[in-house]
C-alpha cells in the first residue's frame, strides 16, 4: 500500500485500560474496540491503519518519527501527555504530517489543568468529547484533509 493511503493511530498513556478505567468518564469500550473502529472507518475510504499505544512517551515519539516514512497522517489521543508534553508536540510538528487530535471525554468540562493542549496548535482536526465514536469522526475528517476534500 502506498504512503498516501496509511494512517498512524497513536494512543497515549493509560488508554490500554479503556473499558475498566473510569467507565463513567471514558465508557465501557476497550482499546481493541477503538482500533477496530479506526481500521473499519479508514478502510471504507481505502486507507489502512498502523496502531500504537504506549505508556512511555519515547515509544510514541519513535512511532511518530517512523510515520513520516510511510503514513499520510496521524490520529492521536495523547491522553495525559496532551497537557504536559512539549516533546510530543514537537515530534508531531517535526514530521509535518496532518494530525487529528481526539479525546474521548470533554477535556474542557474537566479539571482546569486539562484545558491546555500542547497538541492543539499542530493538529488540523480536533474531536473532543464524542466518546469512542469520536475516533471515527477524526479519521473521516483527517482523510478529507489528506485527500484534499477539505483543509480542516
18 burial level (CB within 10 Å; 0-12, 13-18, 19+): buried
- Stated as kind and residue range, the H or E segment containing 24 is helix 23-26
* 77 labeled binding residue: yes
CA distance 24 to 73: 31
Catalytic residue among 56, 103, 115, 126: 103
CA distance 92 to 77: 12
Q: Strand, helix or coil at 126?
A: strand
Catalytic residue among 26, 28, 65, 118: 26
* 114 labeled binding residue: yes
* 89 labeled binding residue: no
> 103 catalytic, yes or no?
yes
Grid cell, residue 94, equals 517535526
Beta bridge partners of 126: 101
* 83 labeled binding residue: yes
- Stated as kind and residue range, the H or E segment containing 48 is strand 48-53
| Residue numbers annotated as active site | 26, 103
Annotated binding-site residues for substrate read 77, 83, 90, 104-105, 114
Amino acid at each position: 500500500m502506498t504512503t498516501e493511503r496509511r494512517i498512524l493511530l497513536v494512543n497515549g498513556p493509560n488508554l490500554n485500560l479503556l473499558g475498566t478505567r473510569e467507565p463513567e468518564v471514558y465508557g465501557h469500550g476497550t482499546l481493541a474496540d477503538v482500533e477496530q473502529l479506526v481500521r473499519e472507518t479508514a478502510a471504507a475510504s481505502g486507507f489502512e491503519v498502523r496502531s500504537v499505544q504506549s505508556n512511555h512517551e519515547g515509544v510514541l515519539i519513535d512511532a511518530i518519527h517512523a510515520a513520516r516514512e510511510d503514513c499520510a497522517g496521524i490520529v492521536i489521543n495523547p491522553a495525559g501527555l496532551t497537557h504536559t508534553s512539549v516533546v510530543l508536540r514537537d515530534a508531531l510538528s517535526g514530521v509535518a504530517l496532518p494530525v487529528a487530535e481526539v479525546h474521548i471525554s470533554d477535556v474542557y468540562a474537566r479539571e482546569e489543568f486539562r484545558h491546555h493542549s500542547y497538541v492543539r496548535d499542530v493538529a488540523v482536526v480536533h474531536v473532543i468529547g464524542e466518546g469512542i465514536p469520536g475516533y471515527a469522526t477524526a479519521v473521516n475528517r483527517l482523510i478529507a484533509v489528506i485527500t484534499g476534500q477539505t483543509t480542516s
